[in-house]
Structure formats: C-alpha cells, structure tokens
Amino acid sequence: MQAISEIIELDGPTLHYTLPDGFEARRVQLIILPADEPERPAARPNRIRSLRGSINGVAADSLEAHLKAIRNEW
C-alpha cells in the first residue's frame, strides 16, 4: 500500500492536489486534518471564588456551619 503524508499551506478554502507520478490506485481515501496548533479555550473563572463576599452576616455563618457539617460527614 502506498501512502502520502504532506502539510500543505492553504490560501482559502479550496485545495487542488495532484498525485505524484507512479502513484497507482483506483480509489483513494482523503483525510483532512488541521496542522495548526489548536486554540486553547479561555480559562473558566472559578464560580465559587466569584461568590466570595456576596454573602455575609447570619446567612454566611449559617452556610459556613452547614458546609463544615457536610465535610465532617466524609
């Protein structure tokens, strides 16, 4: 089986490809993959940290006590 692997620079969405001399096949399989490095997704903000300071007073104390009780169950 003959195989060809190349990285081709594109200038737009059109690709023209000519098989090299001596490549003989009645059917070929074309697989197109991007060779560029994938863009890294933006870091998602920590939702718990964003809540810090939004609850205070009795509600904050109650929530803190509840969380401590739940942690102690583990």
Residue position matching structure tokens 């933006």:
42
CA-wise closest residue to 5 among 27, 38, 41, 32: 32
Residue 62: inside a domain, yes or no? yes
Residue 49: inside a domain, yes or no? yes
Work out how many domains the chain is built from and give that number.
1
Q: Which domain covers residue 64, as residue numbers?
A: 45-74
CA-wise closest residue to 4 among 34, 39, 37, 29: 29
Residue 5: inside a domain, yes or no? no
pTM: 0.41
Tens of pLDDT, residue by residue, the chain (74 residues):
788 888 898 889 999 989 999 888 899 998 988 888 777 777 777 666 666 677 777 887 888 888 888 887 76
Residue 52: inside a domain, yes or no? yes
Residue 54: inside a domain, yes or no? yes
Residue 28: inside a domain, yes or no? no
